[in-house]
Structure 1
C-alpha cells in the first residue's frame, strides 16, 4: 500500500543536532529497506512530501510515529491508488 505523507516540522529554538542525526539515520534506514520510496523537500519550508510503501496503515503509523522528530511534526496522510493512465511497471503499481 502506498501513502503520500506530508510532514511539516516545527522545532523550538535550540541546538537539535543530535536529534537531527537520529532522524537522518532512521529515515535513511527506511529508505534503504524500500518502505520509504521517495523523499522530497518542500522548497522554502521545513517540510517534506514522502511516499511510503508499506503493508498496512498500522505499519505506516508505527514507522512515522517512530521518527525522532515526530513530536514536532504536523503530518497529513493520503492513501494512494494506481492510476489507469499511468505508465508504470506492475511492481510500481
Structure 2
C-alpha cells in the first residue's frame, strides 16, 4: 500500500482550569511525541497559525485509519479539534521539477 498525504488542521483548546503543572506536563509530552512523528516521517511539514494555539501540516500515512491512530497518539488529542483533507498531486507540481 502506498503512503498518502493529508492536510491536517489542528486547533487545541485546553481547559482554563487545568492546573499549570498538568498543562506543562501535557505540553512537554505533546512536543516529544510530535518530534517522534516528525522524525518518523509521519509529519512532513508543519506550520503554526499565528496568534492561535493551532497548526496546519502535511502528514503522511498508509490510510485514514493509520492517520487517525497517529493523530490520536498525541497527548493533547482529547482537547483537539482536527480537520483532515486528502491531497492529490497537482499538474503544476510537474512544472516545478
Give yes or no for TM over 0.5: yes
What CA RMSD, in Å, does the superposition of the two structures yield over aligned residues? Answer: 0.9
Please identify the structure whose Cα radius of gyration is greater.
2
Q: Which residue of 2 is the match for residue 91 of structure 1?
A: none
Partners of 2:73 and 2:84 in 1: CA distance: 15
User: Is 1:3 matched up with 2:6?
Assistant: yes
Alignment of 1:45-64 (within 5 A): 45-64=52-71
Partners of 1:56 and 1:44 in 2: CA distance: 32
Q: How many residues align?
A: 88
Instruction: Specify every segment of 5 or more residues in structure 2 that has no aligned partner in the other structure, as ranges.
Output: none
TM-score by length of 2: 0.87
Deviation by residue 1:60-90 (Cα, 9 ceiling, x = unmatched): 00000111000001100000001011125xx
User: Is 1:80 matched up with 2:83?
Assistant: no
Deviating above 2 A after TM superposition, structure 1's stretches of 4 or more consecutive aligned residues are: none
Counterpart of 1:71 in 2: which secondary structure?
helix
Counterpart of 2:92 in 1: which secondary structure?
coil
